[in-house]
Structure 1
Amino acid sequence: MNPAPVRLPAGVLTALRPPSEWLDSPWLAVGSGILLLVAAAGAVRALRRRRRRAGWVAGVLLAALLTAATTVNAVVGYVPTVQAARFALTGDLDPGGGTVTSFRLGSVPLGVAPSRTYVYLPPGYAAHPGRRYPVVFLLPGSPGRSTDWFGAGDAARTLDVLIARGLLPPVVVVSPDQDAGGTDTECLDVPGGPRWETYLYSDLVPRVDALYRTVPRAASRVLAGMSAGGFCALDQGLRHRGTWGPVVALEPFGDPGSSFRDALGAEGFAAVSPSSYLPGLTVPAPVPVFLGTGAEAGERPGVDALTAQLRAKGWPVLRRDVPGEGHTWVAAREDLPYGLVLAARYLPR
């Protein structure tokens, strides 16, 4: 069953575009490259004349670092705006329609290092103390941080716009750090390492429901993520239907990666790999799923296979590819509003 496509009005698309996107512009990378050439030419002249060589060499190194950074950023879009850079560095976000706050949580018994989880509270949250809200969990990629979705993903702007235009009900949005302590957990219980899957259900979800006025039932929880977080959203969202409602998986993989194959063994690996267990999976009701990726992404064939497996079960599955993009934050930013609007169709009214 294919749901109707999500179509965003031109005015919404304009509002979703950050006012300044120059930090991930390819022209900044070009300018940095020109600066590098100028610095290199100056260094060559200085070396020939034996004058102020140290200063010119330092200039070349700085220009090279700037060129490398701006080139990578132009490709992956990790720092699209000055506000995104500020949030990544400080965790502070200029207030918009909603507000972003945070809390710190971990679990010594489960081997999960304490880390900061960021939370978006929708407009009107403080003014309506009796109201409860659906909740969206947004998981970053790996390596990644809990700041990523509100920095690189520009999620607060997306949420403000969709809520203001009536395309998404007011929601609480939670972005944790599933790599707390530097371990790629893939949201699983890592053998000999952090038991993040157990932590998610025994600690994190209950803490969110205790701290914020969420609707504490599965149908009102959306699980979303990109890259490794996209795998997490798909795998956890499918295997734990008692906790999650709609699933939004951006740039996902069908399994947790080769490093887990040896650690979990063949049977254990298949048990946490949607590409393996989907054909035999039974759930109480159809699962709404949004799958998004870049049209040029290396994982696209795997996403094609996942799409076919999910649709074969008769579930409402919507797929969207971002033209010209690979496995990038640009693609994740562009797909997020479509995924959230689809998920909103299936939230209880």
Structure 2
Amino acid sequence: MGLTSWGTLSLLTLLTLGCMAATVWAWPRVAFRGIRAAGVRALLIAGCQFAVLLTLVTALNAHYLFYGSWTDVLSAAGGGAAQARHHPAGANAAAATRVVRTVQAGLGPGPRAEHVPAKDGQVERLDIRGVRTGLSSEAYVYLPPQYFQRAYAAKRLPVVLFLAGYPAADRLVWIHQGHVPEDVARAQAAGRIQPMIYVMMRPTVVRGRDTECADVPDGPQVETFFAQDVPEAVAEAYRVPRDRAGWGLAGYSTGGYCAAKLAMLHSDRFSAAVSMAGHFHALLDTTTGDLYGGSETLRRSGNLIWRLRHLPAPPVSVLVASADVGEKTYPSARAFMRAARPPLVVDEILLPSGGHNFKTFRKYIPPSIRWLSARLRGE
């Protein structure tokens, strides 16, 4: 059973109830004096407390999606998944390139029974295999109604690449928890945003490893995948701008760091990015492994605050969304904003309080979409 499945949670709940029932049954039988009886009673109490705690932690994980699978848990505990090596595609990469486009009925806004793309828009799935990196991932794409309307047949709509946090167990997290299609439909109906294409992905393209969207020496080239392979795959499948002015990024947590990093390091491809509760330097732990091969130069390159202090600022716009109280990444965000200088432009959404969870992330998404709409241009 999966870590976040109802089956796992139901089994743990039954085991907890069974532990409680066993304690009630056994307690009178060990109610005599002596060290041995006291030890048994202590074990009964500890066992029930452990079962209750395990059930609660599993329920919280299923809700907030801190870990998506048993592999993710093992990686966080120092397992071997984070050490997995990736072998690039090599000379025959072009032959392995693949972009498969599939309509996903029932995932977009509007009635399911009478779904009309030119009225409701449409969610599609892209299966992408990178030509340069050999990495594969799925993307869920929300196409607005205008994409299917005759008046827009020759238009190239701006693109926003949404990147979730790590590990984002739900592959449809931007739809199920982020409600991006619904937010977009409401904003368009109110005339607050222009028609745009939304490409929704997870940064977890190597199972059990948080790569922080880095090109790992002798490992997965995740930065290149999102900066080159993914935009080219999207351009192959849809009518999208050929110029950087029509491309933006957004993400929360690790995805927020990836969004800001990709925009700053690849300003020839992207012109704007939103970091929702994101950090601004790579967080190294047991889930990441060694991202830089011991290179101090590569480590500094991934530190966006260091880059602003020591390198020319890129000509991009970045929206920093964070919370003054309760957000663990706010000190990093504040340091980034202090270091910012032209031609980099930084705007801010600051909540008075909010935790590092999806309840808070949800508050950032609608204003982030409006901010991106005001800065991206179609053709």
Task: Confirm or deny a common fold (TM above 0.5).
Answer: yes
Q: Distance in 2 between matches of 1:260 and 1:234?
A: 21
1:153 paired residue number = 178
Q: Distance in 2 between matches of 1:289 and 1:302?
A: 14
Largest Rg, 1 or 2 = 2
Aligned residue among 114, 122, 125 for 1:99: 122
1:162 paired residue number = 187
Cα deviation, 1:153-181, whole Å, max 9, x if unaligned, reads: 22222222222212111110112333123
Give the C-alpha shift of residue 62 in structure 1. 9.2
Cα deviation, 1:8-42, whole Å, max 9, x if unaligned, reads: xxxxxxxxxxxxxxxxxxxxxxxxxx999977654
Give the C-alpha shift of residue 136 in structure 1. 0.2
Cα deviation, 1:105-155, whole Å, max 9, x if unaligned, reads: 12486242x221111111232233333210000011112254222222222
Tell me, what secondary structure is at the counterpart of 2:145? Answer: coil
Q: How many residues align?
A: 294
2:202 paired residue number = 177
Cα deviation, 1:190-239, whole Å, max 9, x if unaligned, reads: 12221122223442111101101112210111111111111111111011
Distance 1:199 1:325, change over 3 A: same
Q: Distance in 1 between matches of 2:18 and 2:108?
A: 40
Map 1:287-306 onto structure 2 (within 5 A).
Answer: 287-294=316-323, 295-306=325-336
Distance 1:293 1:260, change over 3 A: farther
Q: Distance in 2 between matches of 1:274 and 1:117?
A: 26
1:266 paired residue number = 296
AA aligned opposite 2:261 = D
With structure 1 as the length reference, what TM-score do the two structures score? Answer: 0.73
Identity of aligned residues (%): 24
Distance 1:115 1:347, change over 3 A: closer
Give the C-alpha shift of residue 92 in structure 1. 6.5
Structure 1 vs Structure 2 CA RMSD = 3.3
2:377 paired residue number = 348
Give the C-alpha shift of residue 338 in structure 1. 1.4
Tell me, what secondary structure is at the counterpart of 1:327? Answer: coil
Aligned residue among 257, 264, 279 for 1:231: 257
Are positions 1:139 and 2:168 aligned together? no
1:333 paired residue number = 362
Cα deviation, 1:258-290, whole Å, max 9, x if unaligned, reads: 3456525211111121011112333574x2211
Q: Which runs of 5+ in 2 are unaligned?
A: 1-12, 30-47, 67-103, 110-119
Distance 1:314 1:215, change over 3 A: closer
Q: Distance in 2 between matches of 1:144 and 1:72?
A: 11
Q: Does the Cα contact within 8 Å between 1:139 and 1:226 map onto a contact in 2?
A: yes
Q: Does the Cα contact within 8 Å between 1:119 and 1:175 map onto a contact in 2?
A: yes
Cα deviation, 1:270-315, whole Å, max 9, x if unaligned, reads: 1121011112333574x221101233111111111111112x4464
Aligned residue among 316, 335, 338 for 1:308: 338
Distance 1:64 1:344, change over 3 A: same
Cα deviation, 1:75-108, whole Å, max 9, x if unaligned, reads: x488xxxxxxxxxxxx864431332111111248
Map 1:57-136 onto structure 2 (within 5 A).
Answer: 67-72=56-61, 76=64, 93-96=106-109, 97-107=120-130, 110-112=133-135, 114-128=136-150, 129-136=153-160
Are positions 1:319 and 2:343 aligned together? no
With structure 2 as the length reference, what TM-score do the two structures score? Answer: 0.68
Q: Which runs of 5+ in 1 are unaligned?
A: 1-33, 51-58, 79-90
Tell me, what secondary structure is at the counterpart of 1:293? Answer: strand
Distance 1:345 1:165, change over 3 A: same
AA aligned opposite 2:163 = L
1:18 paired residue number = none
Distance 1:260 1:341, change over 3 A: farther
Q: Which moved more, 1:62-71 or 1:115-124?
A: 62-71
Tell me, what secondary structure is at the counterpart of 2:369? Answer: helix
